[in-house]
Amino acid sequence: MTVTAERAEHAELPTESLLEAYGRMTLIRVFEERVSELYRDSEVPGFVHLSTGQEASAVGACWPLTVTDVITSNHRGHGHCLAKGLPPEPMMAELLARATGTNKGLGGSMHIADPDLGIFGANGIVAAGVPIAGGAALAAKLRGRGVVVSFFGDGAVAQGAFHEAANLAALWRLPMVFFCENNGYAEFSPIADQHPVPMAARAAGYGLEYVPVDGNDVEAVAAVMTDAVGRIRAGGGPMFVEAITYRWHGHYEGDPEKYRDKDELAEWQQRDPLVITRARLLQRGVGPEKLDLIETQVRARIDAAVDAARQAPPPDMSVLRSSVYAPRPAVPEPDWTPVADGEIFRTMDAVRLALEGELEADPEMFVAGVDVGKGGNVFALTRGLYAKWPDRLLDTPISETAVMGLGVGGAMAGMTPVVELMYLDFLGVCFDQILNQAAKLRFMTGGKARMGLVIRTQFGGGRSSGSQHSQSLEALLAHVPGLTVVMPSTPADTYGLLRAAIRDPNPVVFIENRQLYGMKGPKPPADYLLPLGKAKVVREGTDLTIVSVSRMVHEAVAAADALAPRRISAEVIDLRTVAPLDKDTILASLAKTNRLLIAHEGVTDFGIGAEIAALAVYQGFWTLDAPVMRVAPPPTPSPYAPNLEQQWLPDRQSIERAAEALVRV
């Protein structure tokens, strides 16, 4: 047993502090009792997971924390939020799906958060909050202030997200407490069926100091956490605290609980943390009438919170639109025209220079990913930046979920993260942090969460890289509300769009084509910025419109040039940003040419071409003189054999043939 745990056995809070802790635990207990009743009566919709019986671990864990410290929570997070200081009134309104709720009725029980109070969110995905806590802890370390506590249950340690976050936190000595509330069950399964080794062995495997504590003893938990947080503030590394406790209710409200017997529950109810604390206060001479008054006042407050929530209006549909994206700063189209004898640079130079300029301008920006620091990136894109900013060019383990969590948590903490996903194909191993966290946290917090981060990645077929290193997955990302998806085609656009993406207050996935890294083009001025969500007509025409993006833009222009001698005038649009889609530019061109061809590197079926075609048929129907056509790879994975890949990928000849057929219709 560690010194910290030994101290906890004999620790006492001052009587006034213990009274305060008793009041906080009572608030959690009464709040959740009412929520259970309201759920039973169908006033609380959706899933509800209660922490009744675990009040001491929540209150004790948050006892030494300040407003500027951060917690992340899980689906059983009411107690953590209340213990960290979130008032019960807006929480109750949130659970009743009211506009006055903490998150305007967009989060509900599993997603309550208030970043202004350091509450980075309860989370409906098991262990998802742990990598986010790692990002918040990195922000705290870079700023030299703050501690992060990540709450999770015993079931979460089986998740890869937990492993990646724990490994990274230990490696970087992040100011973070991994706080495991071990209540004996992962959903319906007892812990013996879930884990081959105890939590102490897991913690030791990461090099984390491990401290066990009686999670039903608020004084013991508060002592352990006060000691742990104090040592971390003084420069100590992360710690793993295991609070042994028990949930009185099922995994969710309505759970039939066939997996445990009543005797087990009754035995744990004899160790009720409120009863234990009340008994200690009585032993110290606190009169029962004072304790009864605390409960009476809490019940009155919760009653009033329920009444106020019932009278509050439901959220209006306008909150949906206003909560998905933060307002973008106005970025006008730059007034720059390349000159014949102007300076030339490559796309790979554009990436480095954009990062360098923004690192110079923003001391809160960091770049993290596999080999982005000392190694300068697998494609040498960040070479030289580590020498200038060794504390902000961060080489991570091969842990994509943890890396994306650094971006999400760092952004919520107000920093400017640029995190790298080495290949777009690796999206699958970290998609939760992008799909369910980065894209949704602003929305689920009613617009409160800051989420300005950039995920840089690259793709590109044509190099016999096979099916797991050649995919064009932009349509998958563009389908996720909350994400901005950018795909530049030139060195200048790469520079201007990347700088704009870093400055944007929304999560941006910036997808480069590795086939273009060596491409040369005119170098714009250092202050060059391009607006996100704005396409560009790169070649004027009158007979048909070709819409494309990234490398395929160059194939489309080449096809248009080849068609010109045959008196076919093709207009070429470079989308630049896939989501949001610049519908106006597409429709304006279609109104002029009356024919539409779409070319992209993603497979045909369900690709971005289908969305653009739907736009043309729905909003541009009366301007169409021919069917919409698409040029894209067939719906198979990318082949390895060069001859097959060459036939599989569209090129200027296939675009040319399709365009010629279209104008003949």
Integer Cα distance of 12 and 300 in angstroms: 30
Instruction: For residue 180, give the DSSP letter.
Output: E
Quick check: 197 pLDDT over 70? yes
Contact 420, 372 (CB under 8 A): yes
Taking the CA atoms of residue 52, residue 55, residue 61 and residue 64 in that order, the dihedral angle to the nearest 10 degrees is: 150
Q: What is the pLDDT of residue 4?
A: 56
With cut-offs at 50, 70 and 90, classify the pLDDT of residue 116. Answer: very high
With cut-offs at 50, 70 and 90, classify the pLDDT of residue 10. Answer: low
| CA-only gyration radius of the chain, Å | 28
Quick check: 257 pLDDT over 90? no
Helices 400-412 and 160-172: crossing angle in degrees, nearest 10, is 70
**pLDDT tens, position by position, 224-238:** 999 999 999 999 999
Quick check: 263 pLDDT over 90? no
Average pLDDT score over residue span 127-156? 96
Q: Cis link prior to 580 (omega < 30° from 0)?
A: yes
What's the mean per-residue pLDDT of the chain? 95
Among 63-67, 129-133, 364-368, 642-646, name the one with the lowest average pLDDT.
642-646
Average pLDDT score over residue span 336-349? 93
Q: What is the largest CA-CA distance in the chain?
A: 99
With cut-offs at 50, 70 and 90, classify the pLDDT of residue 464. Answer: confident
H or E element, residue 537:
strand 536-539
Say what percent of the chain tops pLDDT 70: 98
Integer Cα distance of 647 and 477 in angstroms: 26
Average pLDDT score over residue span 558-581? 97
| Closest CA relative to residue 544, chosen from 586, 505, 576 | 586
Say what percent of the chain tops pLDDT 90: 89
Amino acid letter for position 248: W
Q: Coil, strand or helix: which one is 454? A: strand
Average pLDDT score over residue span 258-286? 92
With cut-offs at 50, 70 and 90, classify the pLDDT of residue 195. Answer: confident
Q: What is the pLDDT of residue 273?
A: 97
Q: How far is CA 387 from the centre of its chain?
A: 29
φ, ψ for residue 634, nearest 5 deg: -65, 160
Q: Coil, strand or helix: which one is 562? A: helix
Question: Which residues have a Cβ under 8 Å from the Cβ of 413 and sit 6 or more positions away?
Answer: 70, 135, 136, 139, 140, 450
CA distances from 497 to 155, 262, 457 (A): 42, 61, 14
Contact 539, 338 (CB under 8 A): no
**pLDDT tens, position by position, 595-612:** 999 999 999 999 999 999
Q: Coil, strand or helix: which one is 544? A: strand
**pLDDT tens, position by position, 549-569:** 999 999 999 999 999 999 999
E strands, 294-353, in order: 344-346
With cut-offs at 50, 70 and 90, classify the pLDDT of residue 1. Answer: very low
Active-site annotation holder among 469, 479, 554, 600: 469
Q: How far is CA 654 from the centre of its chain?
A: 39
φ, ψ for residue 272, nearest 5 deg: -55, 120
Integer Cα distance of 604 and 201 in angstroms: 49
Q: What is the pLDDT of residue 137?
A: 98
Q: How far is CA 197 from the centre of its chain?
A: 30
Question: Can you read off the two tokens belonging to residue 260?
Answer: 């445990």
Quick check: 8 pLDDT over 70? no
Domains and CATH numbers, the chain: 3-311 (3.40.50.970), 350-522 (3.40.50.970), 536-664 (3.40.50.920)
Amino acid letter for position 171: L
Burial class (CB in 10 A: 0-12, 13-18, 19+), 429: middle
Taking the CA atoms of residue 142, residue 377, residue 533 and residue 504 in that order, the dihedral angle to the nearest 10 degrees is: 10
Helices 55-62 and 218-233: crossing angle in degrees, nearest 10, is 30
Residue 111 bears catalytic tag: no
Integer Cα distance of 263 and 267 in angstroms: 6
Question: Which residues have a Cβ under 8 Å from the Cβ of 67 and sit 6 or more positions away?
Answer: 85, 117, 118
| Closest CA relative to residue 204, chosen from 239, 233, 157 | 239
Q: Coil, strand or helix: which one is 304? A: helix
With cut-offs at 50, 70 and 90, classify the pLDDT of residue 259. Answer: confident
570-574 and 544-548 as β-strands: parallel, antiparallel, unpaired? Answer: parallel
Integer Cα distance of 648 and 462 in angstroms: 9
Integer Cα distance of 155 and 176 in angstroms: 20
CA distances from 203 to 79, 177, 400 (A): 25, 12, 21
With cut-offs at 50, 70 and 90, classify the pLDDT of residue 2. Answer: very low
Q: What is the pTM of this model?
A: 0.95
Angle 387-388-391 (CA atoms, 0-180°, nearest 5)?
Answer: 90
Integer Cα distance of 7 and 20 in angstroms: 21
Integer Cα distance of 508 and 485 in angstroms: 6
Q: What is the pLDDT of residue 125?
A: 92
Quick check: 525 pLDDT over 70? yes
**pLDDT tens, position by position, 92-102:** 999 999 999 99
Q: What is the pLDDT of residue 3?
A: 42
Contact 319, 105 (CB under 8 A): yes
Integer Cα distance of 108 and 101 in angstroms: 9
Residue matched to tokens 């923003």: 362
Average pLDDT score over residue span 515-524? 96
Quick check: 46 pLDDT over 80? yes
Contact 244, 57 (CB under 8 A): no
Integer Cα distance of 218 and 286 in angstroms: 17
CA distances from 247 to 17, 82, 88, 240, 360 (A): 25, 17, 21, 21, 50
Integer Cα distance of 275 and 306 in angstroms: 26
Quick check: 318 pLDDT over 80? yes
Question: Can you read off the two tokens belonging to residue 179?
Answer: 């706080």
Question: Which residues have a Cβ under 8 Å from the Cβ of 360 and sit 6 or more positions away?
Answer: none
φ, ψ for residue 440, nearest 5 deg: -115, -15
Instruction: For residue 508, give the DSSP letter.
Output: E
Instruction: For residue 249, give the DSSP letter.
Output: S
Contact 438, 482 (CB under 8 A): yes
Quick check: 365 pLDDT over 60? yes
With cut-offs at 50, 70 and 90, classify the pLDDT of residue 546. Answer: very high
Integer Cα distance of 632 and 557 in angstroms: 16
